[in-house]
Amino acid sequence: MTAPAPAPRPQRSRLERLGESLLEGLIRLSGVSAIVFVLAIFFFVFREAAPVVFSRNFDLWKFLFSIEWYPTSASNVRYGTFALTVGSFAVTALAMAIAVPFGLGAAIYLSEFCGRRLRETLKIVIELLSAIPSVVWGFIALTVTSKLVVDATGAAVGVNVLNGGVVLALMSVPIIVSIGEDALKAVPDSYREAALALGATRWQVVYRVLLPAARNGLLAAVLLGVGRAVGETMAVLMATGHAVHIPGSLLDSVRTLTANIAAELGEAPVGSDHYRVLFLTGVLLFCITFAVNIVADLAIRGVRRRG
């Protein structure tokens, strides 16, 4: 018996092969686009800020740590962003104080306590919650929660740290829940089974086994929530009022780094020092969120390596 001659391999036309290599080139190009864009963002934002950075009377120390922000003063213009930084941190800290316990609690409930049906439903709710645009949150803060804040505390104005913190908490809960749940799910079931076999209750499993085991992932969830809260613009612009100073209490109005850019960029003449300093604030924000994201990424990776 003779083996049938192998069918000749169908040759693809030159055009087809050329098209394919073009496409693969395009794919590779798109692959590096993320790096290009991150660098481009830094480059173009810094480029607008550069003239003021390299001018003789610029003082980085004062820019970062002076609380005097008088960009439009006629006699003595000063650009100190410290009050804005403190404002950002105050609002973010309050938001995290509310969102972290609730977010992690909800994540634990989702992954350990509730049934499959309920979990799917709750996950859809979380997705919808995270889909609400920030300007709508800002509007809610302005019209709904600010009144509640005034009613509850007797504050003079409803747009203050507390109001902004509450709204930011609502905004960052979804991300904390979804990443936190992923982190808990990543803990191998054998850990749970071992603990249950020893007679532990689910709650004991959670706080003796899961929380220590998922520590890094939960940290990442919190950090990503922080990143979201620090970078949030429209909601805090509408929710926290417009006083540039270090807040003395929860009921003081503040302004954050992000809101400051949004509020003043429209009025600063293009090319003026004020305009460039706002871009420099953007660079500062970029660096802060960059650092937070890298730490979060390292934390998540720590989880993967062990899992």
Q: Is 134 in the site for other proteins (CB under 8 A)?
A: yes
- Minimum distance between the CB of residue 111 and other proteins, rounded to whole angstroms? 10
**Which H, E and C letters describe 134-180, residue by residue?**
HHHHHHHHHHHHHHHHHHHHCCCCCCCHHHHHHHHHHHHHHHHHHHH
Closer CB to other proteins, 134 or 216, in the complex: 134
Nearer to other proteins, 213 or 300 (CB): 300
How far apart are CB 273 and other proteins at their closest, in Å? 16
Q: How far is the CB of 290 from other proteins (least distance, A)?
A: 6
The single residue among 153, 293, 295, 302 that binds other proteins, judged by CB under 8 A, is 293
Q: Which of 72, 93, 113, 212 binds other proteins (CB under 8 A)?
A: 113
CA distance 134 to 154: 26
> Is residue 230 within the footprint of other proteins (CB under 8 A)?
yes
Out of 18, 23, 156, 198, point to the residue binding other proteins (CB under 8 A): 23
Residue type, 167: V
Q: Under the criterion CB under 8 A, does residue 97 sit at the interface with other proteins?
A: no
DSSP 30: H
Residues 197-216 within binding reach of other proteins (CB under 8 A): 201-204, 206
Give the contact letters, 241-280, x = binds to other proteins (CB under 8 A), - = no. -----------------x--xx--xx---x-------xx-
Which range binds other proteins by CB under 8 A, 68-76, 107-115, 149-157, 185-193?
107-115
Amino acid at 260: N
Q: Which run of H or E residues covers position 17?
A: helix 14-53
Q: How far is the CB of 130 from other proteins (least distance, A)?
A: 9
Does 148 help bind other proteins (rule: CB under 8 A)? Answer: no
Strand, coil or helix: 79: strand
Report the nearest approach of other proteins to the CB of residue 206 (Å).
Answer: 7
Tell me the DSSP string of 190-211.
HHHHHHHHTT--HHHIIIIIIH
Tokens of 21: 């290599």
User: Would you count residue 100 as binding other proteins (CB under 8 A)?
Assistant: no
Interface with other proteins includes 152 (CB under 8 A)?
A: no
Q: How many CB atoms lie within 10 A of CB 142?
A: 18
d(CA 100, CA 288): 20
Q: Does 150 sit near other proteins (CB under 8 A)?
A: no
Measured CA to CA in angstroms, residue 258 lies from 92, 171, 233 at distances of: 12, 16, 5
Q: Which stretch binds other proteins (CB under 8 A): 20-28, 58-66, 67-75, 247-255?
A: 20-28
Q: Would you say 277 and 79 are in contact if contact means Cβ atoms under 8 Å apart?
A: yes
Among 124, 152, 156, 194, binds other proteins (CB under 8 A): 124
Q: Which residues of 20-50 are buried (b: 16+ CB within 10 A; e: fewer)?
A: eeeeeeeeeeeeeeeeeeeeeeeeebeebbe
Phi-psi region of 59 (alpha: psi -120 to 50; beta: other; left: phi over 0): beta
Of residues 158 through 187, those in contact with other proteins by CB under 8 A are 170, 173-174, 177
> Is residue 52 a contact point for other proteins (CB under 8 A)?
no
CB of 100 to other proteins, least distance (A): 11
Q: What is the dihedral of CA 226, 233, 87, 67, to 10 degrees?
A: 130
Q: Which of 184, 238, 244, 277 binds other proteins (CB under 8 A)?
A: 238
